[in-house]
Amino acid sequence: MLTRRLFLSSMAATAQSRARVPNFVLITCDDMGYADIEPYRAEVNYTPNLARMAREGLRFTSWYAAPVCSPSRAALMTGCYPKRVGLSFGSWHAVLMPGDWHGLNPNETTVAKVLKQRGYVTACIGKWHLGDQPEFLPTKQGFDSYYGLPYSNDMRPAQKPGPAQDYPHPPLPLLRNDKLVREVTDQDFVTADYTREALEFIKNNAARPFFLYLPHTMVHGPLAAGAAWRGKTGKDLYHDSVAEIDWSVGEILKAVPRNTLVIFLSDNGGTPRAINTPLRGNKGSTWEGGVRVPALAWWPGKIKPGRVNDDIVSNMDVLPTFAALAGGDVPRDRKIDGRDLSALLAGPGKSGHETFYFYHANKLLAVRHGKWKLHTNGELYDLAADIGESKNVAAANPAVVKQLLAKHEEARADMGDGSHAGPNVRMHGKAKGPLRFWIPRHSGSGFPPQAPVKKVDGAPVG
């Protein structure tokens, strides 16, 4: 009898503990600029739900991603620099491509795996882009379910081969778990479709702890928006697509249970069609405009409304933060670069990074330490006074240059630089093969239906 009472007591304590842990919703969009939404530029008048997130929650002003898609998502999932987990680029391009033999190593511990160990139900809905071969898909990386496009929406058949069409892509596949749903041609439905799937997941799992990862395909080109959103902003399709993303965020905020932490961010800086004001540069660079992204955290009753934080934080911090809030642990058998931001969410205090390394592909291109950022070309910027990196102050600050050069060497000794791999990096996943496309190339693509994926030697492009 005593044993039974102890068992029931333990079960009750576990249930109460699970009731106290938050749900997590991580919403990302693709290629959104720093100032594309109202919390970062007051002139925007078509993102009321993101404005609400900032008004009722926390706005980050120094949240860093990676310069391009796949590395950024690797950091989100693993809590590590993309370089550390072998995914600072794809096998032959700056990002993973259809039929790529590289992907997120299934031996990595993802945020989804950490939360599943704590009893969470997990779902990924949207653009994955961490490997399209079966062993790399979300359902092999800690997610109970997956629905979406396995890579970027521009990785679809070109209308005709030629110099402007470098990559002969297969048809664009929509997947559910590890099964093909259909080929995607017209993309106008995508944002609404992901939102519908997300709302269904929230409804079905409201009574238990859940983690929803919602990586939107938009606003990556080719741009698309639902019929109700085309022309909505009075600007162009790009801004209409941003407005539809905002609508989606609003639907999620209305649907989630109260004890839910929602984080919104972009996967990298905006392209030239985006607005990155006042930052310099765009996606694909390690200037601030390529890597500093809009990021908001919303958690009613837990995050004090209207806060702004300028700590150095990043995609890598999601895993340790969610782990701490769920009562779990980060992996102890490997190096994790991210920081636990749970104290920062609760109130003022330094929880971010003192130093941050900027890699593009396998090359170290800059280091930030406090307010200072030193590029490998020797240019030094005081980001507190010059967020736009417009005035090189290296000559006036030789001691700072020397200090940050030492930080560069620390990164090289740890993770390497260029062809030097570094001792503390781990291997990417490698497909066992045979490599395949989800939908074979058809004759309308202008390329042979079963043409192999192109291999390129040397450094990746892009």
| Residue 429, in any domain of the structure | no
69, 80, 216, 353: which is the annotated catalytic residue? 69
Indicate if 301 and 405 belong to the same structural domain.
no
DSSP assignment letter at 140: G
b/e per residue 180-216 (b: at least 16 CB within 10 A): eeeebeebbebbbbbbebbbebbeebeeebbbbbbbb
End-to-end CA separation in angstroms for the chain: 67
User: Residue 369 maps to which CATH number?
Assistant: 3.30.1120.10
**CA distances (Å), origin 369, targets 357, 394, 404:** 9, 14, 7
Indicate if 324 and 345 belong to the same structural domain.
yes
Indicate if 371 and 258 belong to the same structural domain.
no
pLDDT tens sequence for the chain (462 residues): 444 443 443 343 344 445 589 999 999 999 999 999 999 999 999 999 999 999 999 999 999 999 999 999 999 999 999 999 999 999 889 999 999 999 999 999 999 999 999 999 999 999 999 999 999 999 999 999 999 999 999 999 876 655 545 577 899 999 999 999 999 999 999 999 999 999 999 999 999 999 999 999 999 999 999 999 999 999 999 999 999 999 999 999 999 999 999 999 999 999 999 999 999 999 999 999 999 999 999 999 999 999 999 999 999 999 999 999 999 999 999 999 999 999 999 998 778 999 999 999 999 999 999 999 999 999 999 999 999 999 999 999 999 999 999 999 999 999 999 988 899 999 999 999 889 999 988 755 555 554 333 332 222 222
Instruction: Look up residue 313 and give its two tokens.
Output: 């934080």
Indicate if 406 and 327 belong to the same structural domain.
no
Indicate if 92 and 123 belong to the same structural domain.
yes
Last residue of a domain, one of 354, 375, 396: 354
User: Residue 22 maps to which CATH number?
Assistant: 3.40.720.10
| Residue 435, in any domain of the structure | no
| Residue 427, in any domain of the structure | no
Per the structure, the count of domains in the chain is 2
Alpha helices in 229-383 (DSSP H): 237-255, 288-291, 318-325, 342-346
93, 102, 129, 428: which is the annotated catalytic residue? 129
Indicate if 268 and 379 belong to the same structural domain.
no
- DSSP bridge partners of 26: 213, 263
pTM here is 0.92
Indicate if 189 and 232 belong to the same structural domain.
yes
Q: 3-state DSSP call for residue 339?
A: coil
The answer to whether 69 is a known catalytic residue is: yes
| Residue 21, in any domain of the structure | yes
Indicate if 340 and 374 belong to the same structural domain.
no
405: domain range? 363-415
> Quick one: pLDDT at residue 18?
52
| Residue 194, in any domain of the structure | yes
Indicate if 26 and 97 belong to the same structural domain.
yes
Are 91 and 362 contacting, i.e. CB atoms less than 8 angstroms apart? no
Indicate if 300 and 372 belong to the same structural domain.
no
The answer to whether 129 is a known catalytic residue is: yes
| Residue 269, in any domain of the structure | yes
Indicate if 343 and 371 belong to the same structural domain.
no
> Quick one: pLDDT at residue 189?
98
> Quick one: pLDDT at residue 14?
43
Locus of tokens 């109460």: 16
| Residue 370, in any domain of the structure | yes
Element (H, E) at 9: helix 2-20
Indicate if 288 and 376 belong to the same structural domain.
no
Residue of 213, 196, 82, 80 lying closest to 142 (CA atoms): 213
> Quick one: pLDDT at residue 350?
75
Strands (E), 287-354: 292-298, 307-309, 313-314
| Residue 451, in any domain of the structure | no
Q: Could you give the dihedral angle defined by the CA atoms of residues 323, 325, 326 and 327, in that order, rounded to the nearest 10 degrees?
A: 80
Last residue of a domain, one of 354, 375, 392: 354
